[in-house]
Amino acid sequence: MSDERHELGLGLQTDKLPGAYAPLARAAEEAGFAVLTAFNDLWFQPALPALLEIARATERVRVGPSCLNPFTVHPVEIAGQTAMLDAATEGRAFLGLARGSWLETIGVDQSDPVTAIREAWEVVRRLLDRDDSGFEGRRFSLAKGDRLRYPVARRSVPLLIGTWSPRLAAFAGEAAQELKVGGSANPEVVPVMRERIGNHEVRIVLGAVTVVDDDGDRARTIARREVAMYLAVVAELDPTVALEPELVARVRALVAAGDDTRRPCSTRARDASTSARRTECRSPAGWSCCVPRCSPGCARRSEPTARRPEARARAVPLQSVRRRARQGPRPRTSRSPTRR
């Protein structure tokens, strides 16, 4: 499913009971996924416990959060979490940093996110590298002599920046190995982000909300509910699509009121066995994805998407996923949510 140029990754929402992440991780690794990530969305579980469970259950895949933010977690704590995950994976960890979504609802000051993320990465980088020379930033600082008091597995880890923002994309071009475009299933955004990054060596990650279940109708019902939350966040960020402001406002209001959770009682009762995931794909040029159709240069492109909302879901019957996993990758092009 993945090769040297293109990676297919699976992102898991952190809404599961302890012990539920390991079997999913093992199944994904056996199916050929190259990356496993856990989200760190507000009101869900922190990513680290799920990631540590995934680390213990896997041997090959890269593992990391998509994404942590420096507004609710201090960079010193981010460095510690990263060091612990890298040790648990024996050097397979990566760090995802983003501005974060929905934080304004709890009064978090997210002003000047470029400075905050740049300085957060500087703090993490120095701590992992055992650099105790000190750092004085506008938002975060390290006093001379400050350092982690335990050994680390590696003195650096790959950085992923989650953003739609031109300024943060430019920072990713300077410091990161990957940039993640959140909540998008629109291949036309890839050249836009490539220009904003300004560095062809930085890989682009796109992810779509994906629901996998044996019951196709139930999967589609849950997919509509899950994608509404991200449409309300990213609908106005994609410069390649034009959505009616009234539509975006209506979806945002419904999500805020909780109406996006309404669905048939039978679906509600069985939700424990089905949860939203985001399937991600990485490539140097860009991509298109939703379980497991992936890779740029695809001969079988999907119907035009330029006029569609970029935050859309793919509901896939479980049997189809298993069949495609056995068959390997089909040429395609791909996409993921993280706000500016």
Domain annotation for the chain: domains and CATH numbers: 7-327 (3.20.20.30)
Confidence of residue 116 (pLDDT cuts 50, 70, 90): very high
**Percent of the chain beyond pLDDT 90?**
57
Residue bearing tokens 């856990």: 38
pTM for this prediction: 0.76
For residue 290, the model assigns a pLDDT of 31
Q: In whole angstroms, how large is the CA radius of gyration of the chain? A: 19
- The pLDDT value given to residue 241: 83
Mean pLDDT over all residues of the chain? 80
CB within 8 Å of 200: residues ≥ 6 apart: 194, 284
Residue 166 has pLDDT above 60, yes or no: yes
Over residues 260-310, the pLDDT tens digits come to 544 433 333 333 334 445 555 444 433 323 333 232 332 222 333 333 333
Return d(Cα 334, Cα 299) in angstroms, integer: 13
Q: What is the pLDDT of residue 91?
A: 98
Q: Compute CA distances 100 → 177, 187, 233, 238, 241, whole Å.
A: 19, 23, 11, 17, 22
Residue type, 259: D
Average pLDDT over residues 99-113: 92
Q: For tokens 């089909």, name the residue.
A: 330
Question: What is 235-280 written as a DSSP string?
Answer: TTT-TT----HHHHHHHHHHHHHTGGG---HHHHHHGGG--EEEEE
pLDDT of residue 272: 35
